[in-house]
Amino acid sequence: MRIVLVGPPGAGKGTQAQFISSHLAIPRISTGDIFRFNVTSNTELGRMAKTFMERGDLVPDEVTVAMVRDRLSEEDAQEGFLLDGYPRNVPQAETLKKMLAEWDARLSVVLELVVDEDEVVRRLSGRRTCRRCERVWHVLYDPPTRDGTCDDCGGELFQRDDDTEETVRHRLEVYNEQTSPLIAFYADEGVLIGIDATGPVEEVTSRALAALRPFVR
Ligand code: AP5
Determine the pLDDT at residue 134: 86
Distance, CA 9 to ligand 1 centroid (Å)?
5
Beta strands per DSSP E along the chain: 2-6, 28-30, 81-84, 109-114, 127-130, 136-138, 157-158, 192-196
Determine the pLDDT at residue 191: 97
Q: Which of 59, 62, 114, 205 to mutate to test the pocket of ligand 1 (most atoms within 8 A of CB)?
A: 59
Say if residues 126 and 138 touch (Cβ distance below 8 Å).
yes
* Residue 83: closest CA among 174, 154, 16: 16
Say if residues 192 and 110 touch (Cβ distance below 8 Å).
yes
Determine the pLDDT at residue 11: 96
Give the pocket of ligand 1 (CB within 6 Å): 7, 9-15, 31-32, 35, 52-53, 56-59, 64, 85-86, 88, 92, 123-124, 126-127, 136-138, 141-142, 162, 171, 201, 204
Say if residues 128 and 151 touch (Cβ distance below 8 Å).
no
List, in order of start, the domains of the chain with CATH numbers.
Answer: 2-26+79-116+173-215 (3.40.50.300)
List Cα–Cα distances, 4 to 20, 70, 152, in angstroms.
11, 17, 26
| Catalytic (active-site) positions | 13, 88, 127, 160, 171
What is the rounded distance in angstroms from the CA atom of residue 171 to the CA atom of residue 57? Answer: 7
Determine the pLDDT at residue 9: 96
Determine the pLDDT at residue 10: 94
List phi, psi (to 5°) of 155.
-70, 165
pLDDT (tens place) for every residue of the chain, 217 residues total:
999 999 999 999 999 999 999 999 999 999 999 999 999 999 999 999 999 999 999 999 999 999 999 999 999 999 999 999 999 999 999 999 999 999 999 999 999 999 999 999 999 989 999 999 989 999 999 999 999 999 999 999 999 989 988 899 999 999 999 999 999 999 999 999 999 999 999 999 999 999 999 998 7
Say if residues 1 and 26 touch (Cβ distance below 8 Å).
yes
Determine the pLDDT at residue 5: 98
